[in-house]
Amino acid sequence: MANILVATTVFLALIFVNLQIKSLTNITRNNNESLLPIREIFQINYLIRFKKLKFLPKIFIITPTYNRITQLADLSRFGNTLKLVPKILWIVVEDAGFKSERIGNFLNSSAIQHVHLNIKSPWDIINPPSIYKGVIQRNLALDWIRENNQSGIVYFADDDNSYDIEIFEEIRSTKLISAFPVGLVGGLYYEKPKCLNNKIVGWFAYFLPKRKFPFDMASFAVSTDLLHKYPEAKFTTNKSYELEGSLLIDLKVKANEIEPKANCCRKLLVWHSKTLAPKRKYKNQVFEQIILDNL
């Protein structure tokens, strides 16, 4: 019975995709509305590809961001990835004293379901910075999820990383907490949990190896159930303490509870890539002569 239902749904979805493709032959770049069907097609293909129609909790993507010359480049690239993923809420937290119109406009025109927050890091009070970048922004997003009684899976996704969309489907089946490899991080080509018979038995990481949880921010996902169970849990603001581990310790996570994803942690689906800031050879020229809407 369930199979027939799935088959019918897939069949109807295919017909829908087909109709949408026909109506797409006339896309022009400056017609905003015609871009929406492209998203729908990708999302339907995506649902068909992952066949998890029954069980699809929402994913909360928490992205701290700060004003810099590559900010919109990074956010656009990540936004384009997220446009392919159904059932997400993108929580974008600006490190700023106000919500900038630039990022507000970017989010609104992306048509991605989002929440726009802001909180300023105290760099100007404490110098040199004694807390990690992005920490109080991520903590604010965790508070928002709790205050708004949201339920689903939380993923801390920085705007300059690179993501295979498959990572989001790996994350979606997280029960309490899951972990997976991350590329280009920790002075290695990748860091990863060591996984044997679908159990995590150790870690492949060299950067600060004494950490209780040698994790990168992008290497794990947690269920909101844990956040609600431990309402005080947050990332540390003490820079001499391990960052990712601090949340997991507050959430009372035990190493043997962590669920390995991505084929027993053999598949690399997210990379800690970095965008190079451009060298400004003609310093005074570029910004004086070009007027852009969103710079």
Residue from 2, 3, 4, 25 binding ligand NAG (CB under 6 A): 25
- Asked if 293 interacts with ligand NAG (CB under 6 A), we say no
**Closest residue by beta carbon to ligand NAG:** 104
Strands 182-185 and 188-196: antiparallel
Q: Which residues 166-195 are close enough to bind ligand NAG by CB under 6 A? A: none
Cβ neighbours for 80, distance < 8 A, ≥ 6 positions apart: none
Instruction: Assess 108 for contact with ligand NAG (CB under 6 A).
Output: yes
Please pick, from the candidates 149, 256, 284, 289, the single residue that binds ligand NAG as defined by CB under 6 A. Answer: 149
Binding residue count for ligand NAG, defined by CB under 6 A: 15
Stretch that binds ligand NAG, among 102-110, 154-162, 206-214, 283-291 (CB under 6 A): 102-110
**124 touches ligand NAG by CB under 6 A:** no
From the CB of 122, what's the least distance to ligand NAG, in Å?
14
Closer CB to ligand NAG, 148 or 198, in the complex: 148
**Binder of ligand NAG out of 4, 101, 209, 276 (CB under 6 A):** 101
The 220-249 site mask, x for binding ligand NAG (CB under 6 A), equals ------------------x-xx--------
Whether 160 has a binding-site annotation, put simply, is yes
H/E/C letters for each residue in the chain? CHHHHHHHHHHHHHHHHHHHHHCCCCCCCCCHHHHHHHHHHHHHHHHHHHCCCCCCCCEEEEEEECCCCCHHHHHHHHHHHHCCCCCEEEEEEECCCCCCHHHHHHHHHHCCCEEEEECCCHHHCCCCCCCCCCHHHHHHHHHHHHHCCCCCEEEECCCCCEECCHHHHHHHCCCCEEECCEEEECCEEEEEEEEECCEEEEEECCCCCCCCCCCCHHHEEEEHHHHHHCCCCCCCCCCCCCHHHHHHHHCCCCHHHCEECHHHHCCCCEECCCCCCCCCCCHHHHHHHCCCCCC
| 80 is an interface residue for ligand NAG by CB under 6 A | no
Q: Which is nearer to ligand NAG, 122 or 278 (CB)?
A: 122
Catalytic residue among 169, 170, 191, 244: 244
Q: State yes or no: is 101 an active-site residue.
A: no
28 lies in the site for ligand NAG, by CB under 6 A: no
Binding-site positions for Mn(2+) read 160
Residue ranges in contact with ligand NAG by CB under 6 A: 25-26, 30-32, 101, 104-105, 108-109, 148-149, 238, 240-241
User: What positions carry a catalytic annotation?
Assistant: 244
